[in-house]
């Protein structure tokens, strides 16, 4: 049997989250291309057990060990069940796995990602933290081991498709598109009155809570700028953002000859997930095609750099590099949780991040330990800054 005709054996870390659910949809749609061999969830014992049973999975992991008995009681057949960080690493390094899709929110995906690379697996990255916090480390490890880092985020997947392996010196700009979030047209003076409920209503994408708030503040785009810088080995000064409310053009690449390539599709995460799994091939599916006549128009506008400081902060973190992106990321996580719990105003999110970044002493070319320490420091520092907003 040739390589291309054998389904790829895929492990999904974060299988019960929104990206995880979409990746299972792709697996259902393309059984001849994608075979799930391991699934890991954080706390959703019932959903994980149901997924394990549906796909006949032999290796599962529930990060929170307290729910493990609940999973065990529900799964049928002989299933090895793991928990905690060791469990995620065990799944990320399963001998039969070809590709490890990492869709865990937060820092927890970092060690499994590096373990997968060391074990010679390609990784598909949906967790922003991996490349934001440790982009330099992850990409150099991947180069050393000769494995691929495939982007699942719609913007980076679009750029990956437009680049088709071209070298960075042929690129003049990466242009990330941003929906602009629910407050794209809200006057700056009204941002302080934004409620949790309003911030959770995203105009185009159905996503988890953390990422929905991040797209309202534009921190999501800021984190993506940093990710793009590392994924494609492009200086931060060549990573640009354009607001595109319809979210149909998922991102673009401007080449040195002035030509721009864009990737378009309907707004469904199954598109980028499928491309990461079937790459370098394209295969047909049951996803809805684009109807240009129905769309009629695509709009573009400049981002509001002054009203949404997240972009500027991310640009600063990405240009400085070292431990600063990890600090931005961790401070933002703390601030978003505080906002969701009603302890912080909407602008308080970026104010907290900015103050935490200002207090940080950046270490250059950090080790993994230094990155994790910077993350810990930033969480503690950001928490101590919350009350001041």
Binding site for Mg ion (CB under 5 A): 153-155
What is the rounded CA–CA span in Å between residue 184 and residue 216? 8
Whose CA is closest to 318, among 380, 231, 227?
227
Least distance CB 356 / Mg ion (angstroms): 23
Shorter beta-carbon distance to Mg ion: residue 21 or 370: 21
Cβ proximity to Mg ion, 48 vs 313, nearer residue: 313
Shortest distance, position 134 Cβ to Mg ion, whole Å = 19
**Is 9 or 265 the residue whose CB approaches Mg ion more closely?**
265
The smaller minimum CB distance to Mg ion, of residues 59 and 155, is found at: 155
Task: Indicate the residue among 234 and 372 with the shorter CB distance to Mg ion.
Answer: 234
Give the CA distances from residue 151 to residues 72, 89, 227, in Å, rounded to whole numbers and listed in that order.
Answer: 33, 20, 10
| Minimum separation from the CB atom of position 155 to Mg ion (A) | 5
Minimum CB distance to Mg ion smaller for 176 or for 330: 176
Q: Looking at beta carbons, which residue is closest to Mg ion?
A: 153
Task: Specify the residue, 127 or 337, whose C-beta has the smaller distance to Mg ion.
Answer: 127
CB of 376 to Mg ion, least distance (A): 26
Give the nearest distance from C-beta 87 to Mg ion in angstroms: 28
Q: Give the residue from 178, 217, 204 showing the smallest Cα distance to 340.
A: 217
CB of 147 to Mg ion, least distance (A): 23
Which is nearer to Mg ion, 39 or 243 (by Cβ)? 243
* Distance in Å, CB of 220 to Mg ion, minimum: 6
């Amino acid at each position: 049997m040739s390589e291309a005709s054998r389904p790829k054996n895929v492990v999904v870390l974060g299988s019960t989250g929104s990206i995880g659910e979409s990746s299972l949809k792709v697996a259902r749609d393309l059984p001849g291309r994608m075979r799930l061999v391991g699934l890991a969830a954080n706390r959703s014992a019932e959903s994980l057990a149901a997924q394990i049973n549906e796909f006949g999975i032999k290796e599962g992991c529930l990060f929170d060990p307290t729910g493990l008995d609940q999973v065990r009681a529900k799964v049928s057949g002989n299933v090895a069940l793991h928990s905690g960080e060791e469990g995620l690493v065990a799944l990320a390094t399963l001998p039969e796995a070809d590709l490890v899709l990492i869709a865990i929110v937060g820092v927890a995906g970092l060690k499994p990602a590096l373990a997968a690379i060391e074990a010679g697996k390609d990784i598909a990255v949906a967790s922003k933290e991996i490349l934001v916090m440790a982009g330099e480390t992850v990409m150099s490890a991947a180069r050393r081991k000769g494995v691929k880092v495939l982007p699942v985020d719609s913007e980076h997947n679009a750029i990956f498709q437009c680049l088709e392996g071209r070298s960075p010196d042929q690129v003049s700009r990466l242009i990330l598109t941003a929906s602009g979030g629910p407050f794209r047209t809200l006057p700056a003076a009204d941002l302080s009155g934004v409620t949790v409920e309003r911030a959770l209503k995203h105009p185009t994408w159905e996503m988890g809570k953390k990422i929905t708030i991040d797209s309202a503040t534009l921190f999501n785009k800021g984190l993506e700028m940093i990710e793009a810088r590392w994924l494609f080995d492009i200086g931060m000064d060549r990573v640009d953002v354009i607001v595109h409310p319809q979210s149909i053009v998922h991102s673009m690449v401007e080449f040195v000859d002035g030509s721009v390539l864009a990737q378009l599709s309907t707004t469904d995460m199954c598109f980028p997930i499928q491309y990461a799994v079937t790459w370098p091939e394209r295969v047909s599916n049951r996803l809805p095609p684009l109807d240009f006549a129905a769309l009629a128009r695509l709009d573009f506008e400049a981002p509001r750099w002054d009203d949404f400081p997240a972009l500027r902060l991310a640009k600063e973190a990405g240009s400085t590099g070292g431990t600063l992106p990890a600090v931005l990321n961790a401070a933002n996580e703390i601030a978003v949780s505080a906002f969701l719990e009603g302890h912080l105003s909407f602008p308080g999110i970026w104010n907290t991040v900015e103050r935490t970044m200002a207090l940080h002493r950046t270490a250059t070319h950090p080790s993994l330990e230094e990155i994790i320490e910077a993350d810990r420091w930033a969480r503690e520092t950001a928490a101590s800054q919350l009350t001041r907003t």
